[in-house]
Amino acid sequence: MANIAIVGATGLVGRTMLRVLQERNIQVTSLRLLASARSAGEIIAWNGNEYTVEELTEDSFDSIDYALFSAGGSISKQYAPIAAKNGCIVIDNSSAWRMDPDVPLVVPEVNPQSAHEHKGIIANPNCSTIQLVVALKPLHMHFGLTRVIVSTYQTPSGAGQKGIDHLLDEINGIAPTKRISSHKVAYNTVFHAFPVGELFTEEEIKIKNETRKIMGIPNLPIAVTCVRVPILGGHGESVIIHTEKSCDTNDIRNILNISSGIVVVDNPLMEEYPTAADSEHRDEVFVGRIRRDDSSENSFHLWITADNLRKGAATNAVQILQLLEEQQ
Amino acid sequence: MANIAIVGATGLVGRTMLRVLQERNIQVTSLRLLASARSAGEIIAWNGNEYTVEELTEDSFDSIDYALFSAGGSISKQYAPIAAKNGCIVIDNSSAWRMDPDVPLVVPEVNPQSAHEHKGIIANPNCSTIQLVVALKPLHMHFGLTRVIVSTYQTPSGAGQKGIDHLLDEINGIAPTKRISSHKVAYNTVFHAFPVGELFTEEEIKIKNETRKIMGIPNLPIAVTCVRVPILGGHGESVIIHTEKSCDTNDIRNILNISSGIVVVDNPLMEEYPTAADSEHRDEVFVGRIRRDDSSENSFHLWITADNLRKGAATNAVQILQLLEEQQ
């Protein structure tokens, strides 16, 4: 039984968090929905009741046990410490705290023990990182990863509702009122934003740094290119792994098949493989196209998909909450 | 001055061939437009005149100097030898003859000399191969390639008009009458067809084999994953190259800048990089996102785009024709 606040309750991830809390029968004593002044007053139905969205203030966290944040980095930077000081456990979906050495960055299938080392704030990793590490961790445990190469195929919904609006407005021939790229997004390939002076996008830097932190391998060699494509439903990732130990595709398939949170879909003869659309509304990570890469020794191809709003954000945050509740 | 036939003149590539022939001021003495019986009788305007599409028969190649084929593999298999026996030079855009050791597979920027070794048939490579080798060749000449890793982002137009129809029908909420995948193509990621018993798709196998043949490096290590995404305009490719010689990103940029048929677009500060849409209607290959990959020694990232119907098909075929004409 817990008193729960959602910060950013009207956003795409916030609304998905509400859905996942209900689906997973989280025992909620009280629920507080928080957002900016602009959204305050909105009514949101949840689990048979109606809730009025309140404006986020410094007093919002009184008697709250868990605050799930998904309202952007600057809100998290400002309000997560206030919530934590109030004795509330923050599970933060923004990038604000992820690389802070005092903040655990948690994927329950990968490093559940880290969740218990929190000092009030736990960070939820980036969507494209979560689906990657869920698949990589068991393979690392068994075969030892020496290099990871990733090219992503990401839905604009990673940028929230405005990403979907930019895409669908353009598809419908409307000039987008909100943009996530200076380029056309519909029927096109674009990249995420570049931090000033960087050749890598912020998304690419996140995958590198977060994967290393979650897996506990500070020097894991990772090559990454992130691309936004006009898809919905989830992200795809074309991955190559190099392993320390010699193994074959059956070994990899067998390990993935018995690993938590993973569904192997890999039957080329029947054209069965994971797709972004098939991942939508699902909480698992899907892996297929498991093939030996003969361009290097001990090298293998994987194709990984997941619903970026669920396992890539809301579901993972609620799983962290469940992890903490179970330990009490 | 040449007598030219287009086989598959009503298709997406055939129509683009006509456009490119006109743009490049190819001196055409006579033009014969050939297609299946179904399309015979259609009128196509070209360069101020109207042409009636004729049904392809064994007699279609009388007094033709060059026949540009783009009507599928089985038509090429059957009719290209007949055309060649008539003294006609076939430039074939299908996959039928590409790996035949007696048939040169030509990209004019890469292996122009091979075009002159033909025995009546010259093969035009696959679209995703052409844009790759145009960028790889100069880098191989200067730095020596030891491994190439590719993940593609391909428009459904690679499957011709039916690929575009499948995508746009689904986007418009219409059940597609012609499909290129058993999966949904709109807002999704799908793979090309799998040959029976293969873990790699036919597109992936083409990139591997054709790249090695065109570059003249039979054992070049290549890792490849091909993905269809709901874009138009052209294909994107996320590429990693390993080089024999040590070099830096400036060396790579400088070489690409002076290489034929390549435009470098790489200014992350201004969000300038190649996109699929920006490649449309262009004949060049675009390269950007040139970055050192610190996950391995002498390893670099490239992002490559091109218009798959032009440089990836029609333009390359017409360039081969020009190459042969210039030598006469």
Which chain B positions have a beta carbon within 8 Å of A301's beta carbon? 223, 225
CB pairs under 8 A between A and B: 155
State the catalytic residues of A: 127, 235
- Say which CATH topology domain A128-308 has: Dihydrodipicolinate Reductase; domain 2 (3.30.360)
- B276 with A198: Cβ contact below 8 A: no
Residues A198-237 pLDDT 10s = 999 999 999 999 999 999 999 999 999 999 999 999 999 9
Specify the pTM: 0.97
Residues B156-204 pLDDT 10s = 999 999 999 999 999 999 999 999 999 999 999 999 999 999 999 999 9
- In A43-148, which residue ranges form alpha helices assigned H by DSSP? 73-85, 112-115, 127-143
Which chain A positions have a beta carbon within 8 Å of B221's beta carbon? 294-296
> Rounded to an integer, what distance in angstroms lies between the CA atom of residue B311 and that of residue B128?
10
Q: Count of CB atoms within 10 A of residue A218's CB?
A: 8
Provide the shortest C-alpha distance from residue A223 to chain B (in Å).
6
**pLDDT (0 to 100) of residue B202:** 97
- A149 with B295: Cβ contact below 8 A: yes
Given pLDDT bands bounded at 50, 70 and 90, which one contains residue A138?
very high
Average pLDDT over residues A274-280: 98
Provide the shortest C-alpha distance from residue B315 to chain A (in Å).
22
Q: What share of chain B is helix, strand, coil (3-state, %, to 5)?
A: 35, 25, 40
| CATH 3.55.40.20 at A2-124+313-326, yes or no | no
CATH superfamily of B2-125+313-326: NAD(P)-binding Rossmann-like Domain (3.40.50.720)
Residue B327 has pLDDT above 90, yes or no: no
What is the dihedral sign for C-alpha A22, A25, A31, A33?
Answer: negative
Provide the shortest C-alpha distance from residue A281 to chain B (in Å).
14
Question: What are the domain boundaries of chain B?
Answer: 2-125+313-326, 128-308
- B194 with A271: Cβ contact below 8 A: yes
Query: Using CB atoms, which residue from B188, B223, B299 is nearest to A275?
Result: B188
State the catalytic residues of B: 127, 235
> Rounded to an integer, what distance in angstroms lies between the CA atom of residue B77 and that of residue B86?
15
Which class for A199: exposed (0-12), middle (13-18), buried (19 or more C-beta within 10 A)?
Answer: middle
Query: Using CB atoms, which residue from A223, A232, A273 is nearest to B295?
Result: A223
Provide the shortest C-alpha distance from residue A183 to chain B (in Å).
8
- Report the residue of A131, A170, A180, A188 to disrupt the B interface, i.e. the one with the largest count of B CBs within 10 Å: A188
Residues B273-282 pLDDT 10s = 999 999 999 9
Query: Using CB atoms, which residue from A200, A291, A305 is nearest to B291?
Result: A200
